[in-house]
Amino acid sequence: MKCARSVLIMNKVWEDIRIYGTVKVGERGQIVIPSKARKDLNIKPGDLLLVISGPPGPDPLRLGIGLVKADSVKKVMERIMKGLEEPEET
């Protein structure tokens, strides 16, 4: 039963993931983000991207890196900080 549950979880995780292709890391460590990904994610020249990864470990879902627009992270953090500043209603 544990194996079937794992398969269901994997299917759900991959259901919403878009694959835009592959990129090759250049000699200076640079990559080119595919144009369709840039368009879909509204990534423009000069945008600051945060490079993230999951914690190391044996879980294959945590291998790799992700790119997140820094201004998106900033907006989320501002909302969190605002929530911490507001007094709790009882």
Q: Is 38 contained in some domain?
A: no
Pairing label, strands 66-69, 49-52: antiparallel
* Shared-domain flag, residues 16 and 50: no
- pLDDT tens digits, residue range 38-74? 999 999 999 999 998 877 777 766 677 888 889 888 8
- Domain range for 29 is 1-33
Q: Where are the alpha helices (DSSP H) in 1-90?
A: 2-15, 35-40, 70-85
Query: pTM, whole model, 2 decimals?
Result: 0.62
Residue in the structure block whose two tokens are 């423009």: 44
Same domain as 57, residue 23:
no
Spell out the residues 6+ positions from residue 38 whose beta carbon is closer than 8 angstroms to its own: 44
What total number of domains does the chain contain? 2
Query: What is the residue whose two structure tokens read 């079937």?
Result: 4
Cα–Cα distance measured from residue 34 to residue 7, given in angstroms and rounded to the nearest whole number: 30
